[in-house]
Amino acid sequence: MTPASSPLSRLLSQAWADLQPFAGRFGLTWRVALLCAIVTAAAMMFKIPEASISCYLIIFLMKEDAVQNCLMGFGLILLATLVVVLMIPVINMSIDSPAMRLAIMFGVSYVFLFLSSTTPLGEQAAIVGLIVAFIMTLVTDVPIGQIGNQGLLAAWKMACMPMALMILFNLVLGIPAQTLVRNRIVRRLRASADVLEHPDACEELRELLAEGNDLSLQQMLTVKLLHLISKEKSTWLNGAVETSYRVMLASLAPAGSIAPERARALAGELRQAADDIASGEVPAPPENATDDSTAARRLSEALAALSQPDGGASPKPAPQRLLSADAFTNPDHQRYALKTSLAAIICYLIYTGIQWDGIHTALITCYVAALGTTGETVRKLTLRIVGCLIGAAMGVGALLFIMPHLTSIGGLMILVFAGTLVGAWVSSGNERISYSGVQIALAFLLTTLNGFGPSFEFSQAGDRIMGIFVGIFVIYVIFTQFWPKSVVNEVRDTLDRVSGDLKSLAGETKDRRDSDLAISMRAFGDLEHADEMLDMAYFEPRSERAPNEQLDGYRVTLEEMRSRLCGLQARA
């Protein structure tokens, strides 16, 4: 992407590229769609309300890693159970006081949204905040004597049933963490081989470098703790994660620094090693060769390290802090929690004040659409609008042409599978468009899942879609008018960090750079993050957005830093 290209053309070309297939995408897509169909059937048979929200939790939370999905499911079930138990005395205390209910809803929401911004809980904490708010809104709808039996139990089932099914589903059909780590190593080696043969084809390698090793090492830590594979295989995979990252760094050598014949030979050795690893074997040591260049020698050394029993390294995952370092010093965390909680309360007051409970999806929108910066939030709202329109159109089409012919839950499952397959394909892609896929599926489900069987209710579907737009409007107003946080400020801070990392790398020897990859990984990750932030700047209101000339200047600076970083990696 060049600064000369227009923002719109950049966004459209990016969106088209993000929709293209890649390894593992269809696998995750059909798993999500099938699990949503199963969740729908369970909700229909056991009369669990809000089946669309239960399916939404699957679409929003389910990832490729079966182990992560199981742990997340267990964690959310425990959190939801604890919250529901604690809510019983809270509800009894606030049953006769609407003001106290609002205060409790706001306070608990604020706490969990703050935790979602400052702790590793992330999305799980935000969902618990949503569950609490949902429970408190039920207090006015359920007769007093039935609140504990119906309201709390319904909310608990709505959250825990899909999580229990997600655990069982992943135990049977999920992809183990160790397989994902192995596939990631294979992809790194093949991307490195591609760059050696075609130096200009470095986009995939750049994305892999920006990913870093933290996710893979955390996955391997879980694998070791749960004893999912033998100690020997675990040790090799753990070391191969870091060694494969060194392979990628070594392949960044400028064009011409490795003789063409030697580059082709190294690319062949990388592909052979990738094939061996993909088949579950440790690659054989490469043939001894005399390398004239530093870059070729580094690649040969890294390839040879992959054949060792420890994978060539003994890395340890970076320790995770319980709270982020700036949890109480950075006001953005508190402002995010405050603005989102305020938006949820306003939406609740709107639909209860006008007695239009059908638009209660406005409240849900607040918890799933808010992000840190104004640009991020408006981009997410834009994706939500686009996804909502597509999903609603799909749902209306289903109500008109398919639903009249459905007579059983099995037929409804097939419809849910087909509809969520489209949304899951988009949501499994890059973060730039993934939320649009979540919204496509959610709008489709909100339109088609009304009651406990095939439904033809157009009014309920319309109300729910209207609620989404109400929530979008409230979030937009609050996040653009109160403490707006410009993307440009975050880009500037990120580039300043990269500048410091470049100075640190320039002062290190080759051996030091190879042994300590943390600075390189952070720099590549920050550059990719800054690139995405610059694209989000065009979603900000004109009053807050930086001039195009300034944004283009940052983009030029970013590319210069990326070139310098690649050059430092290839330096002796």
- Residue 544 is part of a domain; what is its CATH number? 1.20.58
What CA–CA distance (Å, rounded) separates 530 from 487? 9
Task: Please tell me the least confidently modeled range out of 59-63, 97-101, 168-172, 493-497.
Answer: 97-101
**Which residues, 6 or more positions from 378, have their beta carbon under 8 angstroms from its beta carbon?**
476, 479, 480, 539, 540, 541
Q: What is the pLDDT of residue 41?
A: 93
Burial 529-551 (b: 16+ CB within 10 A, else e): bbbbbbbbbbbbeeebbbeeeeb
Q: Six-digit token pair at 463?
A: 């109300």
Q: Is the pLDDT of residue 183 over 90?
A: yes
Question: For the residues 507-527, what does the mean pLDDT come to?
Answer: 78
What CA–CA distance (Å, rounded) separates 511 from 363? 54
- Residue corresponding to tokens 């093949």: 190
Question: Are 19 and 135 within one domain?
Answer: yes
**Is the distance from CB of 268 to CB of 197 less than 8 angstroms?**
no
* Residue 83 resides in a domain: yes
What CA–CA distance (Å, rounded) separates 253 from 504? 20
* Residue 277 resides in a domain: yes
Question: Are 447 and 342 within one domain?
Answer: yes
Question: For the residues 521-528, what does the mean pLDDT come to?
Answer: 90
Amino acid at 327: A
Instruction: Point out the domain boundary residue: 433, 454, 481.
Output: 481
pLDDT band at 316 (very low <50, low <70, confident <90, very high): confident
Question: For the residues 44-50, what does the mean pLDDT come to?
Answer: 86
Question: Are 243 and 148 within one domain?
Answer: no
What CA–CA distance (Å, rounded) separates 391 from 465? 10
Q: What is the pLDDT of residue 2?
A: 45
Q: Is the pLDDT of residue 457 over 60?
A: yes
What CA–CA distance (Å, rounded) separates 392 from 398? 10
Identify any residues that bridge with 175 across adjacent strands, giving them in sequence order: 65
Question: Are 31 and 85 within one domain?
Answer: yes
Q: Is the pLDDT of residue 387 over 60?
A: yes
Q: What is the pLDDT of residue 456?
A: 62
Q: Is the pLDDT of residue 420 over 90?
A: yes
CA distances, 271 to each of 267, 278, 440, 502, 522 (Å)? 6, 10, 39, 31, 27
**With pLDDT > 70 as the criterion, what percentage of the chain qualifies?**
88
Closest CA to 453 of 33, 48, 35, 32: 48
Nearest-5° Cα angle at 336, 332 to 338 = 115
Q: What is the pLDDT of residue 376?
A: 67
Q: What is the pLDDT of residue 449?
A: 84
State the burial class of residue 223 (Cβ atoms within 10 Å of its Cβ: 0-12, 13-18, 19+): buried
Question: Are 300 and 352 within one domain?
Answer: no
* Residue 43 resides in a domain: yes
| 265-300 confidence digits (pLDDT tens) | 899 999 999 999 999 999 988 877 666 677 788 888
CA distances, 369 to each of 80, 87, 227, 378 (Å)? 21, 25, 38, 9
Q: What is the pLDDT of residue 200?
A: 80
Burial 409-427 (b: 16+ CB within 10 A, else e): beebbebbbebbbbbbbbb
Q: What is the pLDDT of residue 34?
A: 96
Question: For the residues 167-190, what does the mean pLDDT come to?
Answer: 95
* Average pLDDT over all residues of the chain: 83
Instruction: Point out the domain boundary residue: 481, 501, 517.
Output: 481
* Residue 326 resides in a domain: no
Question: Are 157 and 218 within one domain?
Answer: no
* Residue 236 resides in a domain: yes
* Alpha carbon of residue 7 to chain centroid: 24
Q: Is the pLDDT of residue 4 over 50?
A: no
Q: Is 311 left (phi over 0), alpha (psi -120 to 50) or beta?
A: left
Question: Are 53 and 171 within one domain?
Answer: yes
Instruction: Point out the domain boundary residue: 446, 481, 516.
Output: 481
* Alpha carbon of residue 287 to chain centroid: 41
pLDDT band at 145 (very low <50, low <70, confident <90, very high): very low
Q: What is the pLDDT of residue 534?
A: 84
CA distances, 136 to each of 108, 270, 374 (Å)? 11, 58, 29
* Alpha carbon of residue 545 to chain centroid: 26
What CA–CA distance (Å, rounded) separates 383 from 429? 13
* Alpha carbon of residue 5 to chain centroid: 28
* Residue 1 resides in a domain: no
Domain count, the chain: 3
Q: Is the pLDDT of residue 111 over 80?
A: yes
Question: Are 436 and 533 within one domain?
Answer: no
Per DSSP, helices labelled H in 402-486 are 409-427, 431-448, 458-481
Q: Six-digit token pair at 14?
A: 């990016």
Burial 15-54 (b: 16+ CB within 10 A, else e): beebeeeeeeeeebbebbbbbbbbbbbbbbeeebbbbbbb
Question: For the residues 181-203, what does the mean pLDDT come to?
Answer: 91
Q: What is the pLDDT of residue 291?
A: 63
Question: Are 91 and 194 within one domain?
Answer: no
Q: What is the pLDDT of residue 516?
A: 66
Domain span at residue 550? 487-570
Residue 509: helix, strand or coil by DSSP?
coil
Question: Are 432 and 354 within one domain?
Answer: yes
* Residue 328 resides in a domain: no
Question: Are 59 and 111 within one domain?
Answer: yes
pLDDT band at 39 (very low <50, low <70, confident <90, very high): very high
* Residue 468 resides in a domain: yes
Q: What is the pLDDT of residue 139?
A: 63
pLDDT band at 323 (very low <50, low <70, confident <90, very high): confident
Question: Are 273 and 388 within one domain?
Answer: no
| 351-369 confidence digits (pLDDT tens) | 888 888 888 888 887 877 6
Overall pTM > 0.85: no
Q: What is the pLDDT of residue 442?
A: 85
- Residue corresponding to tokens 């290190």: 508
Q: What is the pLDDT of residue 313?
A: 82
| 535-550 confidence digits (pLDDT tens) | 777 777 776 777 888 8
**With pLDDT > 90 as the criterion, what percentage of the chain qualifies?**
27
What CA–CA distance (Å, rounded) separates 187 from 237? 14
Closest CA to 39 of 445, 381, 375: 445
| 222-271 confidence digits (pLDDT tens) | 999 999 999 999 999 999 999 999 999 888 877 667 888 888 889 999 99
